[in-house]
Amino acid sequence: MSSKILWRYLKDLIKQPFYVMYRRRLNASVYTWKLPRHIGIIMDGNRRYARQSGLNRIVDGHALGAEKLREVLNWCYEFEIPIVTVWSFSLDNFHRDSSEVEGLLGLFEAKTWELVQHEDVHRNQVKVRYIGKVDRLPESLQEAIHAAEAATAHYDKNALNIAIAYGGREEITDAFSRYLLDQSRMGRTLEDVLARLDPGALESYLYTSGIPEPDLIIRTSGEVRLSGFLLWQSAYSEYYFCDTYWPAFRKIDFLRALRSYDQRQRRFGR
């Protein structure tokens, strides 16, 4: 263990009792707050966490990130936040080192098959939905995705939307393309289409059709940008940026995000 990692470990150990007391105080207050109905999460920092922690492989950081998602989802169920949308893999991620991409896609496949019969999913009645260019993924992963969606399609208490092979610009482009094709099939002229075109016309063509827009978007790892996540849907969302890498995201970080949301006055552009 390097001296830097050891020093960080010792500092965290000293702080731990104070964090526990602070977390308990926040946890006791959360039920008095105005809470979001839909949270979007950009789970960033898995690779940097793996390097900083001296893990043998980058994919090990992603595996820890997958376990963190399970933990965070249980926090959402605890506070009755019914809809969560997470960004697991962008279209740009295909350009990463081939061994990392292969390892990531293999991890996604294994975790997706777990969702088919996972106790947490069925106990909390979670409808699982994948959004993005799923057809760009390996066939075996697509098979797992279809199985997870079919196994949970009848649930309506909670929802987990997983953005994979996703890009915000591509989503908007796809929505507009599908809209134009439908209009063409109806025999409408370009003039008719333009006369009818408004933002509401495209909403049913988005990947998230039928899902309320996110109230709060959380990004970990210290990056202060959306990077294309839910570009259309996040127009009136509140944002919370956290310095912590995703695998190290703590309940106290989550509670701080909820407290920050409670303190905002949402104006929806007004």
Any idea which residues carry the catalytic annotation? 44, 93
**Environment class of 84 (CB within 10 Å of its CB; exposed 0-12, middle 13-18, buried 19+):** buried
Name the nearest CA neighbour of 146 among 116, 181, 108, 175.
Answer: 116
Strand extents, DSSP E, the chain: 38-42, 83-90, 126-131, 158-166, 216-219, 238-241
Beta bridge partners of 84: 39, 160
Residue whose pair of structure tokens reads 């263990």 in the numeric block: 1
Pairwise CA distance, residues 155 & 222, whole Å: 35
Cα–Cα distance list, 4 to 1, 12, 28, 156, 221 (Å): 8, 12, 35, 47, 18
Contact 214, 39 (CB under 8 A): yes
Helix (H, G, I), strand (E, B) or coil at 5: helix
Contact 38, 267 (CB under 8 A): no
